[in-house]
């Protein structure tokens, strides 16, 4: 069987996902001025960053502990037991400010912007007119007339500015000099209290707090990419003051066993947190990746993609979903997957069959003591307990050339300390009712 030209049916897409299995292809990353370095880039290097990727046209640290010293597994242990610091300045901040800020934001997100209080944040999605997901940022509301989009990996600023060509809305839209870091892990609140005082314990989930750290202005949110207790610290005038914030966090972190680490994709997978460009893209509908709760039935105002999304929901409810694959959670066999996957690994319904789906985000879960993954499988084969077979690279299988058994399971894979909105709604039985 030639897995280099997969047979997975993607006829519902204009540009199929590239499922060719190239495997690891180590190359030297070229550092030049075409891709931006964040204000924290040199600081990450000082803490041992040895590899990076590109995210939002910026260099993004993706590994600190060397492989021979335990790599990402060691970084994970610090996250779930102590506290970690992440350079996530690649989450570019796009400010929408002006008299029509609320109206504009309400027009470009699927959720109801009028219901977001000042000094609160929300996880949101923005869709194109076909209902495809353009971005899934955290949206911060700083004032009645000011919002920040904390971006995932796509050029959303250009889209937002394009929507407002001709000044249909009285707002200014621009990237601002604000760069976040994440402080994540069970001791994150203790570390934050050392930095800003007892008020740290009063910041609610998705709440915002404006203060200073090391004499520099910051906005702090109780959010993150892990499901663990954690915060994001947004530094104003970051190009000038990055060292001040970083040094303050690292200094205060010594007594809490702080470690500087890369984003913990193994933990976000366990929490069911999606990664744009990996689990979804511009040709993915929210319903396809379990984000139906982001498309409220009760929002009367018009927004970009509304007609397409309401039509898609009607088709789904009639038993005719307008897509071929659905994102599910899988538990799978094999040796521990201990690093990023270089390919979308293929999935078959039976060991000898042609591929019918693909894994988007795999990793080993120490708590569950097995490999877990998010994966796209045929929409008619998503029931819990459905069996699949995954074609893993030889280093992860017991018998080279033989696929490993997998089973569809609930997502999230384990409860979160700081649950996201979908997890909260799921606990209330409301995740599919909005």
Residue 195 located in a structural domain: no
Q: Does residue 239 belong to any structural domain of this protein? A: no
Whether 160 maps to a domain, the answer reads no
Quick one: tokens of 248?
A: 């303050």
- Which helix (H) or strand (E) element contains residue 93? strand 93-97
Cα–Cα dist 43/236, whole Å = 17
Q: Is residue 249 part of a domain?
A: no
Residue 366 placed within a domain: yes
Q: pTM, whole model, 2 decimals?
A: 0.95
Q: Count CB-CB contacts under 10 A for residue 240.
A: 12
CB of 292 within 8 A of CB of 313? Answer: yes
For 358, the domain range is 274-427
Determine, yes or no, domain membership for 393.
yes
Concatenate the DSSP letters of all residues of 212-279 into one string.
EETTEEEEEEB--SSSSSEEEEEEETHHHHHHHHHHHHHHHHGGGTEEE----HHHHHHTT---BTTT
**Sign of the alpha-carbon dihedral angle for 53, 55, 57, 58:** negative
Number of domains in the chain: 1
What CATH number corresponds to the domain at position 328?
A: 3.30.1360.120
Is 153 part of any domain? no
The pLDDT profile of the chain, 434 residues, written as one tens digit per residue, is 455 677 899 999 999 999 999 999 888 999 999 999 999 999 999 999 999 999 999 999 999 999 999 999 999 999 999 999 999 999 999 999 999 999 999 999 999 999 999 999 999 999 999 999 999 999 999 999 999 999 999 989 999 999 999 989 999 999 999 999 999 999 999 999 999 999 999 999 999 999 999 999 999 999 999 989 999 999 999 999 999 999 999 999 999 999 999 999 999 999 999 999 999 999 999 999 999 999 999 999 999 999 999 999 999 999 999 999 999 999 999 999 999 999 999 999 999 999 999 999 999 999 999 999 999 999 999 999 999 999 999 999 989 989 999 999 999 998 777 666 666 666 565 554 33
Residue 288 forms part of a structural domain: yes
């Amino acid at each position: 069987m030639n897995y280099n030209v997969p047979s997975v049916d993607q006829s519902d897409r204009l540009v199929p996902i590239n499922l060719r299995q190239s495997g690891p292809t180590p190359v030297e990353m070229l550092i030049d001025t075409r891709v931006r370095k964040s204000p924290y880039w040199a600081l990450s290097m000082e803490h041992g960053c040895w590899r990076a990727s590109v995210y939002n046209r910026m260099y993004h640290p993706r590994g600190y502990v060397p492989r021979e010293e335990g790599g990402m597994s060691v970084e994970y242990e610090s996250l779930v037991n102590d506290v970690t610091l992440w350079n996530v300045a690649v989450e570019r901040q796009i400010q929408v400010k002006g008299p029509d800020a609320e109206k504009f934001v309400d027009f470009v997100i699927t959720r109801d912007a009028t219901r977001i209080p000042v000094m609160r944040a929300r996880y949101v999605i923005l869709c194109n007119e076909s209902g495809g997901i353009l971005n899934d940022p955290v949206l911060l509301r700083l004032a009645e007339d000011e919002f920040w989009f904390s971006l995932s990996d796509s050029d959303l600023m250009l889209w937002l500015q394009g929507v407002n060509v001709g000044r249909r809305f009285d707002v200014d839209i621009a990237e601002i000099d604000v760069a976040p870091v994440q402080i994540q892990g069970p001791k994150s609140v203790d570390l934050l209290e050392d930095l800003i005082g007892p008020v740290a314990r009063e910041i609610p989930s998705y709440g915002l707090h404006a203060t200073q750290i090391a004499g520099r202005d910051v906005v702090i949110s109780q959010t993150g990419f892990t499901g663990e207790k954690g915060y994001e610290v947004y530094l104003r005038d970051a190009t000038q003051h990055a060292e001040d914030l970083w040094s303050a966090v690292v200094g205060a972190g010594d007594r809490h066993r702080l470690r500087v680490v890369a984003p913990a994709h193994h933990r976000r997978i366990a929490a069911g947190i999606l990664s744009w460009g990996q689990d979804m893209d511009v040709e993915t509908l929210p319903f396809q990746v379990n984000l139906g709760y982001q498309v409220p039935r009760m929002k009367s105002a018009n927004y970009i993609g509304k007609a397409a999304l309401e039509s898609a929901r009607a088709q789904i409810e009639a038993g005719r979903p307008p897509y071929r694959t659905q994102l599910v959670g899988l538990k799978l066999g094999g040796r521990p997957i201990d690093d990023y996957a270089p390919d979308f690994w293929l999935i078959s319904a039976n060991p000898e069959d042609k591929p019918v789906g693909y894994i988007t985000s795999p990793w080993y879960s120490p708590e569950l003591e097995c490999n877990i993954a998010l994966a796209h499988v045929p929409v008619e084969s998503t029931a819990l307990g459905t069996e699949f077979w995954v074609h893993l690279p030889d280093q992860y299988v017991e018998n080279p050339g033989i696929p490993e058994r997998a089973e569809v399971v609930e997502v999230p894979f384990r409860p979160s300390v700081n649950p996201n909105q979908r997890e909260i709604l799921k606990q209330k039985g409301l995740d599919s009712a909005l």
